[in-house]
């Protein structure tokens, strides 16, 4: 299993994961809070790849997970109450972590978060931030087991989706600096 920066050839596989998640949500098997054709889309992946911030996880040559990792805090973060006041230059953000639903339950999400933390520390960022829709109970539970604290929940329009209650999560890797 490897995690690497994504390239334009990966857009199709990342988009397939997005579509599979939309399929699962539309069938009522999962609750993420995304909308097909609105977020995420292949354009979401393309923009992140062009910015050099999209990473993919491969297992036996197959892309099984993807996420955007950068220092860009979404606008809604300004409305949140954070436990850790941190300079923006010390904050790394994990966006749109996805795992192929056909491969869920194998620890890929947890491993991706571990990679994110190591990557952040290498970039001099000991403060981790991320968000998820309040409806995404599965992700919230996973992040809790990994030591992330739910700092706040803010109402917002998120990537074109209105009525979102965005759960803001944070972690300070102080013991690893």
Q: Which tens digit of pLDDT belongs to each residue from 63-86?
A: 999 999 999 999 999 999 999 999
Q: Which tens digit of pLDDT belongs to each residue from 81-97?
A: 999 999 999 999 999 99
Say what the pLDDT of residue 137 is: 95
Q: What phi, psi does 134 have (nearest 5°)?
A: -55, -30
Q: What is the DSSP string of 61-84?
A: TEEEEEEEEES---GGGGGS--SS
Residue (of 170, 171, 161) closest to 32 by Cα position:
161
Residue 177 in this model has a pLDDT that exceeds 90: no
Q: Provide the percentage of residues in the chain whose pLDDT is more than 70.
A: 98
Q: What is the DSSP string of 73-138?
A: --GGGGGS--SS---GGGEEEEEEEEE-GGGTTSSHHHHHHHHHHHHHHHTT--EEEEEEETT-HH
What are the residues facing 3 on neighbouring strands? 57
Q: How far apart are the first and last CA of the chain?
A: 26
Q: Which tens digit of pLDDT belongs to each residue from 114-167?
A: 999 999 999 999 999 999 999 999 999 999 999 999 999 999 999 999 999 999
Q: Which tens digit of pLDDT belongs to each residue from 89-125?
A: 999 999 999 999 999 999 999 999 999 999 999 999 9
Burial 56-68 (b: 16+ CB within 10 A, else e): bbeeeeebbbbbb
Q: Which tens digit of pLDDT belongs to each residue from 7-22?
A: 999 999 999 999 999 9
What are the residues facing 169 on neighbouring strands? 130, 150
Say what the pLDDT of residue 174 is: 74
Residue 52 in this model has a pLDDT that exceeds 60: yes
Query: Residue 175's pLDDT band (boundaries 50, 70, 90)?
Result: low
């Amino acid at each position: 299993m490897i995690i690497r920066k994504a390239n334009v050839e990966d857009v199709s596989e990342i988009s397939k994961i997005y579509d599979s998640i939309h399929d699962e949500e539309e069938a009522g098997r999962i609750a993420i809070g995304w909308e097909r054709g609105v977020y995420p889309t292949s354009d979401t992946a393309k923009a992140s790849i062009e910015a050099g911030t999209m990473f993919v996880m491969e297992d036996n040559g197959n892309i099984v997970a993807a996420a955007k990792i950068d220092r860009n805090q979404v606008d809604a973060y300004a409305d949140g109450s954070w436990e850790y006041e941190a300079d923006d230059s010390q904050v790394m953000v994990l966006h749109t972590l996805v795992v192929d639903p056909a491969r869920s339950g194998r620890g890929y999400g947890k491993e991706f978060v571990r990679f994110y933390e190591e990557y952040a520390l290498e970039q001099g960022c000991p403060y981790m931030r991320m968000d998820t829709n309040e409806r995404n109970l599965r992700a919230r539970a996973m992040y809790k087991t990994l030591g992330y604290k739910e700092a706040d929940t803010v109402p917002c329009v998120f990537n074109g989706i209105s009525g979102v209650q965005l759960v803001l999560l944070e972690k300070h890797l102080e013991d690893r600096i």
